[in-house]
Structure 1
Amino acid sequence: MSDEKLYELVCHVSNEIFGKDFQHKAYFNKRLRTTGGRYMLRTHHIEVNPLVFEKYGMDELVGVIKHELCHYHLHIEGKGYQHRDADFRELLKKTNAPRFCSTLMERTGRKITKKYTYKCAKCSLLYNRKIQLNTKKYRCGKCYGALLFVSLENMK
C-alpha cells in the first residue's frame, strides 16, 4: 500500500466514522518499531507503521487509523487527547477504536548477557563482571595486584 492510498483511507475513515475532514498528511513510517502509529502534535500529521498492514491486514490498519484520528480530532478541538483523558477514552468507545495495536515485534525471551571472570595474580581473588575490563588500567581492590583474564561465559 502506498502513502497516497493510506492518505485516502485516513480521509475516508475520518469522514465515515467521525463525520469530520482530515486536513493534514498521513504516511507510512518504517522506522516505527513497537507502535502501530502516532499522531504528531506540532504538525498534526499521522504516521503509521507499515508492519501493521503487512502482518495483520486491513482491519488492524483501520483500527490504528481510528485510534490516531481520536488523538487528532480531540487535539484539534482542544479537548483531552491523551490516553489518560476521559474524552479520549470515551471517543475510543464511541468509534470502536482499539486502545492498543497487536504485537509487532516478536519477543525472544531474556537477553543473553556475557559474564567475564578475572583473577588477581597475587591473592587469587576472582572478579565476575558483565562488562569487559581493561586489565592494564584496573587492579585488585584487596592487594593491588595485577588482574588476569580467566574466562568468558554466555548467560541467559
Structure 2
Amino acid sequence: MKEDAFCEEGDIVLADASEDVDDIGKAIEIVDIGGQRLVSGLHTILASRIDHRIVVGFGAYLYASSGVRKQIQQRAQGAKVLGISKTQLAEVELAYPTEAREQQKIAHCLSSLDEVIGLESHKLDALKNLKKGLMQQLFPQDVA
C-alpha cells in the first residue's frame, strides 16, 4: 500500500457517497491515532492538510460548518445515491482564520461546548430512564 494512503493526524475523512443529501460529505478529523497505521476506508475521500495551515482539532468544525456543508451538498450528483468526487471537493472554498492561535481558540471553545452537550445528553438519558422506571411502577402492565 502506498504511504500516502495512510491517515495522519489532522487529515479529514469525508463520505463520498450517501442516499441522503444531509449525509454526503460528512467528515471526521483524525486527531490522535496513537502511532497506528490507519486507512480511511471505502466510500471516503481522504483530505490531507496542505502545509499544516489548519491546526489539528479545527478541521472537523470547519467541514461541519453550514457554508462548507452547503457547498458539498450542491456539488453532489446522483439520483438514488449521491456522490462527490475529489475534483468536486477541491472546488469547495474554505474560509477560516489563518492564525493558528485563533483556530486553536475556536476549536477549544467548540470542543468544550461539545463536552457540555455530551454531559447534558447523559443527564437527559438518565432522567428519561428514571421516568420510564417510575411509569412502569406506577402503571403496571399486569392489570387484573
| TM-score interval for Structure 1 and Structure 2 normalised by the shorter chain | under 0.3
RCO comparison, higher one (Cα < 8 Å, 6+): 2
TM-score, length-normalised on structure 1?
0.22
Query: Which of the two has greater helix per residue?
Result: 2
Query: Which of the two has greater strand per residue?
Result: 1
TM-score, length-normalised on structure 2?
0.23
